[in-house]
Structure 1
Amino acid sequence: MKRIPMRSLLLAAVFALLAGCAGGGTGGRLQAAGDAEVFDLGLDTTLDWARVKAPRREQWTIDGAPLNQLTIISRIKPGEHVFLGARERRGRPDGPWFRPGMRPDEVRDILVDGLREAGWANVQASGLRPASFGQVPGLRFDLDLDNPGGLVYRGLATAAEREGRLTVLVWIAPAEHYYGRDVEAVSRMFDSLRFVKGP
């Protein structure tokens, strides 16, 4: 029996989740503008989203995943893949595995590595800066990347560690039109993030 490479499995899982959001979130539920809770986070949004849920992971979109997508991943455990792909393996100690106490640049780097593993090309991160999830310190940075078909995307990523677990949000949209249309609203939404429930 032929073994399927881990990269292919990750890419298939990401596209399967994104496909569930396509066409305005078919199969998901509407998140109207206003206050929202997702896992142990509270946030404020001025946009309407379609939400597709999975354990410890949600995919949000406004116009369908190819046009904009927000991935929210909750409580990533030590040794776990930053996008919940797999557990750490001895044969690959340098993979995108979360470890408590990572520096902001290390968290940024594992997120970038995870995006590359998922099939994104030319992934570049810039503008690493502090952020806050209410009283919990975090980080934020900007993204430039291409999808497997060569379409140029831009985005924002933010993350915070609490109680030895990592919470991550990654928003991306095509650089042409959709990124510019929504980046300010998504940035304000990221500014509003706060933990509202105990770990």
Structure 2
Amino acid sequence: MKMRVRLALVGAMVLAAATPALAWKLVKVGDQIIVGKSSMVITAPTQWNRVTYGPIKGSEEWTLDGLTLNELYVAGDIASGKPLLYEFNKKDNPLPKFADTMQLTDLPDLVERTWRVARNAVVFKTTAVEPAKLGGNDAVRIRYEYVRDGSNLIYKGIATAAVVHGQLQLVLFEAPALFYFDRDSAKAVAVMDSVTFRVMPVAKPS
């Protein structure tokens, strides 16, 4: 079993090295980053690499060593009726949608249902749900682990989510349970704890 996990991890590292170059920017300690032009602002407590686009509006992906090894997914201002990730197959395999009527207690299930579809998680376990704060707002901190279809590699994750002004705010980190999660999760939590929200301009009526 350990050998299969090691081989899966090596495969992930090879995939990361083989991925075509993305548009990356270095985030330095103290940099204030407006996430995807949303209301979410991160004041970087440590250095990260930041890809300059995200899978959905208002989102970005950050990493330390490559997205397959340690992925920090930040998404601000997810509107009601929108998914947490990009939908590759809306017709036949749609993602669950956020609703502004959801309570914090509904968000762990939303993450699980999303990951089962988008990440092909055949095994998904929420290991802890705790009260938290995100930019001074009541939030929920979710700890989970999962295995993707066709893989023996266990991923562990931690997410902090809040509903602010009727929109979902999400900061989520995941990495292989073997080595990377334990090494890097504290840095991800520090990013979550650094979040603030800016006042967005009110759109003028057309």
Normalised by the shorter chain, which TM-score bucket?
0.7 to 0.9
Q: Give the TM-score normalised by structure 1.
A: 0.77
Whether the 8 Å contact between 2:87 and 2:95 is mirrored in structure 1 is: no
Larger radius of gyration: 2
RMSD over aligned Cα atoms? 3.0
Report Cα offsets for 1:151-191 as digits up to 9, x if no partner. 11111011111111111121101111111111122222212
Runs of 4 or more consecutive aligned structure 1 residues displaced over 4 Å after TM superposition? 18-23
Report Cα offsets for 1:124-169 as digits up to 9, x if no partner. 1122111112232111111111234221111101111111111112
Residue matched to 2:140 = 139
Matched, 1:28 2:24: yes
Residue matched to 1:9 = none
Whether the 8 Å contact between 1:50 and 1:62 is mirrored in structure 2 is: yes
Whether the 8 Å contact between 1:21 and 1:65 is mirrored in structure 2 is: no
Residue matched to 1:127 = 128
Distance 2:121 2:199 in 1: 33
Gaps of 5+ in 2: 1-14, 202-206
Whether the 8 Å contact between 1:126 and 1:143 is mirrored in structure 2 is: yes
Aligned residues: 179
Q: How does 1:105-184 map to 2 (within 5 A)?
A: 105-118=105-118, 119-148=120-149, 149-184=151-186
Secondary structure of 1:99's match?
Answer: coil
Q: Give the TM-score normalised by structure 2.
A: 0.74
Report Cα offsets for 1:69-125 as digits up to 9, x if no partner. 011122111121232438x99x99x96211113122211101111011112331211
Distance 1:21 1:60 in 2: 18
Distance 2:60 2:95 in 1: 23
Whether the 8 Å contact between 2:49 and 2:62 is mirrored in structure 1 is: yes
Secondary structure of 1:65's match?
Answer: coil
Distance 1:111 1:97 in 2: 10
Whether the 8 Å contact between 1:41 and 1:197 is mirrored in structure 2 is: no
Report Cα offsets for 1:2-48 as digits up to 9, x if no partner. xxxxxxxxxxxxxxxx979958x742111123343223223344432
Matched, 1:98 2:98: yes
Residue matched to 1:41 = 40
Identity of aligned residues (%): 27
Secondary structure of 2:191's match?
Answer: helix
Secondary structure of 2:112's match?
Answer: helix
Residue matched to 1:15 = none
